[in-house]
Amino acid sequence: MTIFDAARVLIPFVISFAVGIAGAPLLTYYLYKYRAWKKKGGKGKGMGDDTGTPLFDGLHKEREVSTPRMGGILVWGTVTFTVVGLAILAALMPAAFAPLDFVNRGQTWLPLFALIIGGLAGMVDDILEVTKGSGGLSLRWRLLVVGTFGVFGGWWFYAKLGVSAVGIPFFGTLPLGIFFIPFFVAVTLAIYASGVIDGIDGLAGGVFAIIFMAYAAIAFAQNQVSLAALAASISGATFAFLWFNIPPARFYLSETGSMALTMTLAVIAFSADSLGDGVGVAVLPIIAFPLFITVVTSMLQVFFKKVFKKKLFHIAPIHHHFEVLGWPAYKVTMRYWIITIIASIFGIAIALLK
């Protein structure tokens, strides 16, 4: 790898950020023009019981009916624009731009497909939410979309790319054979479940931007330059979203953003695994620790409600629990950013040592 290869990763990052910053005012105009926010604030019934979510509603209900959803369009729309734009420039002026065209079958076809499919499916949910006020697509339908993609993605790795094992730090690889496909589905669903971290201004944007940059570093170290460029491009677009999502948020990531990012993260983590002679999946709970703890605390909350008939946390996921304890939202958000940076550095170190 050379400085030139590093530039092939960093330039898409900067381009995505610039495109996102430039495109945000246009997206803002249309989201506010069509009043693309929830018609009824709050979460209604809580997960696992019928008591509702009065604590959450008290913290966020008012903002939910005045701040637009679908801000995630800025992320996947920006990445798509960057990818297509660089491909066109590479075709027109190959001598100058061919090295920046990072679309290829082995490294970026599937994550790009995940980003677009996730974004479009999530946008359907958001459109139903803001136009019908019906809560969008049911959880069953959203899980069906993610699970179906998981089956396809697992098959693609297994049949098309010849991947049937995952890397284990310091122990080599764990062969899974045909069971690689259900394992891929399970990981994809688990990461999608972490999308509920999108609950405080600036929280999800900062966390996802850092995570994707960490995987860009891992992919680059594996000499998967195209994969690294894509991850960096997603990070740059997410940082652009974050610019407008810090308190008070101009718009929310919502389902179109969280579904696109979580599905793509699953693919990139597997791509940075045995395909690149690495341990991309094993370090995922470390690098994405805030996402991991979001899923775990939500599951524990449901378990305690079902088994012990009481809550373990005031609200789950745990970032809302901290709000109830009296932490200002900005303090929760910034501490999550710090934790994600530290966890990402640790995860990258393990991935490099493996």
Top-confidence residue, 317 or 152: 152
What pLDDT sits at residue 200? Answer: 92
What pLDDT sits at residue 59? Answer: 61
Q: How far apart are CA 245 and CA 251, in angstroms?
A: 6
Domain boundaries, the chain: 3-353
For residue 165, the cross-strand partners are 175
Question: Is residue 143 within 8 Å of 189, Cβ to Cβ?
Answer: yes
In one-letter notation, the amino acid at residue 174 is: L
HEC assignment per residue over the chain: CCHHHHHHHHHHHHHHHHHHHHHHHHHHHHHHHCCCCCCCCCCCCCCCCCCCCHHHHHHHHHHHCCCCCCCCHHHHHHHHHHHHHHHHHHHHCHHHHHHHCCCCCCCCHHHHHHHHHHHHHHHHHHHHHHHHCCCCCCHHHHHHHHHHHHHHHHHHHHHHCCCCEEEECCCEEEECHHHHHHHHHHHHHHHHHHHHHCCCCCHHHHHHHHHHHHHHHHHHHCCCHHHHHHHHHHHHHHHHHHHHHCCCCCCCCHHHHHHHHHHHHHHHHHHCCHHHCCCCCCCHHHHCHHHHHHHHHHHHHHHHHHHHCCCCCCCCCHHHHHHHCCCCHHHHHHHHHHHHHHHHHHHHHHHHHC
What pLDDT sits at residue 3? Answer: 84
pLDDT exceeds cutoff 70 at 177:
yes
pLDDT exceeds cutoff 50 at 50:
no
Q: What distance lies between CA 295 and its chain's CA centroid?
A: 14
* Number of neighbouring beta carbons within 10 Å of residue 338: 12
Mean pLDDT over each residue of the chain, to the nearest integer: 92
Q: How far apart are CA 291 and CA 295, in angstroms?
A: 7
Lowest average pLDDT, out of 48-57, 72-81, 295-304, goes to 48-57
Question: Is residue 267 within 8 Å of 153, Cβ to Cβ?
Answer: yes
Question: Is residue 166 within 8 Å of 195, Cβ to Cβ?
Answer: no
Q: How far apart are CA 302 and CA 311, in angstroms?
A: 8
Average pLDDT on 171-181 reads 95
pLDDT digits (tens, 9 = 90+) for 216-274: 999 999 999 999 999 999 999 999 999 999 988 999 999 999 999 999 999 999 999 98
Q: How far apart are CA 39 and CA 57, in angstroms?
A: 14
What pLDDT sits at residue 135? Answer: 73
Top-confidence residue, 3 or 301: 301
What is the phi/psi pair of residue 36, to 5°? -85, 55
Lowest average pLDDT, out of 105-109, 134-138, 247-251, 295-299, goes to 134-138
- Dihedral over Cα of 146, 149, 154, 157: its sign: negative
Residues 6+ apart with CB under 8 A from 90: 97, 98, 100, 101
What pLDDT sits at residue 107? Answer: 94
HEC assignment per residue over 55-123: HHHHHHHHHHCCCCCCCCHHHHHHHHHHHHHHHHHHHHCHHHHHHHCCCCCCCCHHHHHHHHHHHHHHH
Average pLDDT on 202-215 reads 97
pTM over 0.75: yes
pLDDT exceeds cutoff 90 at 351:
yes
What pLDDT sits at residue 1? Answer: 65
What pLDDT sits at residue 316? Answer: 85
Whole-number percent of the chain with pLDDT over 70: 93
Tell me the pLDDT band of 180, cut-offs 50, 70 and 90: very high
pLDDT digits (tens, 9 = 90+) for 60-79: 666 678 899 999 999 999 99
Question: Is residue 237 within 8 Å of 20, Cβ to Cβ?
Answer: yes
- Distances 80 to 7, 33, 102, 113, 174 between C-alpha atoms, Å: 20, 24, 12, 10, 34
Question: Is residue 108 within 8 Å of 230, Cβ to Cβ?
Answer: yes
pLDDT digits (tens, 9 = 90+) for 115-172: 999 999 999 999 999 988 767 899 999 999 999 999 999 999 999 999 999 999 999 9
Q: How far apart are CA 125 and CA 138, in angstroms?
A: 8
Tell me the pLDDT band of 45, cut-offs 50, 70 and 90: very low
pLDDT exceeds cutoff 90 at 43:
no
* Number of neighbouring beta carbons within 10 Å of residue 128: 16
